[in-house]
């Protein structure tokens, strides 16, 4: 089994943190739930190629990776490693790719979700693909 090179702590960018707080207030969901959804959406978006602008992590908000990934930590790790192998080719580390997808996913989610009903519709639409 491959050992993880992913960081144990993941800091958000200021923009992602601000948007996460806004999403939390609009949906009532916990930070980690919204962050996990954003991470999944970003990892599943095949148009996400240039992640370099999302790598920065300059806020005070930090997630323990295991809080974010839960018992699916190995699966998330393999998704990140797969992305790095397919698209990054050494330009970004696995940790940077995970951080970038986390930031990008939260920002993207905040543009689409204004309420819990919006999130429900978004999840339904994704599930029916």
The model's pTM is: 0.89
Count other Cβ atoms within 10 Å, centred on residue 59: 16
- Stretch 51-58: mean pLDDT, rounded? 84
8-34 confidence digits (pLDDT tens): 999 999 999 999 999 999 999 999 999
CATH of 9-124, one of 3.40.190, 3.40.720, 1.10.1220, 3.10.180: 1.10.1220
Rounded Cα distance between 56 and 108, Å, is: 16
Tell me the CA distances in angstroms from 44 to 2, 26, 30, 47, 93, one per residue in order: 22, 24, 21, 9, 19
% of the chain surpassing 70 pLDDT = 95
Residues recorded for the chain: 129
90-101 confidence digits (pLDDT tens): 678 899 999 999
Confidence of residue 3 (pLDDT cuts 50, 70, 90): very low
Residues with Cβ within 8 Å of residue 2, at least 6 apart in sequence: 77, 81
Domain ranges of the chain: 9-124
């Amino acid at each position: 089994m491959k050992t993880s090179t992913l960081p144990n702590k993941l800091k958000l960018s200021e923009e992602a943190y601000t948007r996460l707080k806004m999403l939390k207030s609009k949906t009532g969901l916990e930070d980690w739930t919204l962050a996990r959804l954003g991470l999944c959406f970003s990892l599943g978006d095949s148009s996400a190629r240039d992640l370099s602008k999302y790598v920065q992590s300059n806020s005070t908000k930090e997630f323990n990776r295991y809080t974010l990934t839960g018992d699916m930590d190995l699966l998330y790790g393999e998704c990140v490693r797969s992305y790095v192998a397919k698209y990054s080719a050494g330009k970004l580390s696995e940790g940077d790719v995970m951080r970038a997808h986390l930031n990008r996913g939260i920002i993207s989610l905040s543009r689409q979700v204004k309420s819990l009903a919006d999130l429900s519709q978004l999840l339904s639409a994704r599930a029916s693909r």
